[in-house]
Amino acid sequence: MRMNRHMGQATRTTKLLLDLGKRTQGGTNTSKRAYLEATVELLNAARAFYVAFFLAHADKLSERVSYFSEKHLEERERALSANELLTWAEFLTVETNEHPDPLRDWNFSRAFPDFPFLYRRAVIKDAIGKVKSYLSNLSNWHHSGKQKGKPGQPGASNHPTLYEGTFSLELDGLDQRESFVRLKIYTGERWAWVNYPVKYSRYFEQRRTELGWEQQSPKLVLRPKHAELHCSQVKAVKARKINESKQDPHLVTVAVDLNVKNLAVITARQDGAIIETVFVRDHGLDQHRYGHLKRIAQKQWLSGKPVKGEHSNRQLWGHVGRMNEEAAHKVSRSIANVCAKYPGCVLLFERLRKIPAKGGSKSRRMNRKRTNQLRGQINQHAKDKAYAQGTVTVEVNPHGTSQYCSRCGARGERFSSRGGKRIQAKWGKLFRCPVCHYEAHADFNASVNVHRSFYREWHWQPRKKPPPKAAKRSGGGDPLSPATGRGEEACGGTPR
């Protein structure tokens, strides 16, 4: 059998915290922080210079040049590449010995003396990207004929990209506490190399050196209280196409049902049988988060208005956000680990439904919102992590996965058990089938149904003549919609 594989790219980001701590006390640390601020500010100003320059020479960005296409054996036209635009812009704005007279109104060398050329090239490239996307948005807007929504002028601020030559990571293999980055920074008076200790970890080292991942230029991200390098990596991924996978009679499918107490119920199926089940429980996350949100809601109620900016609330929100992010990474790691056991498997998610945030107290509603957010994060991170391993994700029709019997396909009921008594309840933890008398954990039953939906069994069989109205209501006739372009294009990063 000819293997029809397609190539894609997975990306991920690992954060490296710069140590601006008070360890050495005194002026050094505060000035180190000030240097970073001065650098970002100067780079923003230089970027603003080139954004203005390209806006003033917008015609150059749409200039076409002709070239001979080897592939088509004929003269063709194309736009100027970013490198050609960069060379052209430098020629007009930078003073050199061979070329002492740049445009009088656009003399970058005078406006920004001693500016390192690597940073200059970085800001020129940023400016090209910003102005190009602005012009294309503007042209789309003109064509749309709308009155409102005119695209705003491109801004100039960005997290600076640190290209080779503006930074270096100095690692002491023996004592990682001695690790630091050397950064070319602007002190407010001149450009200089300055060392910044980093909070280096084994985790970072393992990701940095992992086979198959290629380093990209990091970005310097300056936050109110700390500074980080965001180090991204890309990996070329070969994955089987979904249509190809479906031809495999022994295909393994890994299905995930996302819920509240059981954050995820993962089931693997092969040859029609469930071969593995993993319950990922929330270990009190929902309760813990609810407690915090209750406090926030109380404070808001006492003060009579949402106190978004208030210090302690901001800390609580930050804490809740980090809790979710951490849980999302843990759960998605468990999902990717199950996939890793079955090379060539397909990962199945339901198209995400929202658990309605309506009803109940304010803190309950806030908690529901966070739950939905967490489900979205788990879904995204799991797709990214699995894809980096060569596993493609498919999103299946979620209709009825929690209501139908995964054994015989009949409509069943949910119930919970209290003090030995069975109480029928819409959100009951257990599932019971009135036809075949199957009983199971409701989330497990739903997870097994995700496979059924993928294979279009029972309830999920394509209808012969779907009435047009019903087809519309259930969100389109095709229950098998491959995760949008996943695999074809780059996956989003998984910042950590």
Q: How far is the CB of 443 from Zn ion (least distance, A)?
A: 17
**441, 431 contact by CB (below 8 A):** yes
Query: What residues have CB less than 8 Å from 259, skipping those under 6 apart?
Result: 265, 443, 446
Nearer to Zn ion, 388 or 405 (CB): 405
Beginning with the edge strand found earlier in the chain, give each strand of the sheet holding 262-270 in spatial order. 273-281, 262-270, 253-258, 346-350, 392-396, 480-482
Nearer to Zn ion, 275 or 408 (CB): 408
With helix as H, strand as E and coil as C, how does 46-115 read?
HHHHHHHHHHHCHHHHCCEEEEEECCCCEEEEEECCHHHHHHHHHHHHCCCCCCCCCCHHHCHHHHCCCC
Nearer to Zn ion, 61 or 410 (CB): 410
Nearer to Zn ion, 30 or 461 (CB): 461
Element (H, E) at 447: helix 442-454
Q: How far is the CB of 422 from Zn ion (least distance, A)?
A: 17
Residue 110 to residue 108: CA distance in whole angstroms: 5
Nearer to Zn ion, 276 or 439 (CB): 439
Residue 211 to residue 468: CA distance in whole angstroms: 51
Residue 119 to residue 94: CA distance in whole angstroms: 13
Q: How far is the CB of 437 from Zn ion (least distance, A)?
A: 7
Q: How far is the CB of 222 from Zn ion (least distance, A)?
A: 58
- The dihedrals phi and psi of 353, each to the nearest 5 degrees, come to -100, 155
Please report, as ranges, the residues that interact with Zn ion according to CB under 5 A: 405, 407-408, 410, 433, 435-436, 438
3-state DSSP call for residue 153? coil
Q: How far is the CB of 432 from Zn ion (least distance, A)?
A: 9
Nearer to Zn ion, 340 or 410 (CB): 410
Nearer to Zn ion, 231 or 405 (CB): 405
Q: How far is the CB of 406 from Zn ion (least distance, A)?
A: 8
Residue 188 to residue 152: CA distance in whole angstroms: 31
Residue 101: name the closest of 110, 56, 87 by CA.
Answer: 110
Residue 306 to residue 295: CA distance in whole angstroms: 12
Q: How far is the CB of 441 from Zn ion (least distance, A)?
A: 15
Nearer to Zn ion, 383 or 451 (CB): 451
Q: How far is the CB of 404 from Zn ion (least distance, A)?
A: 8
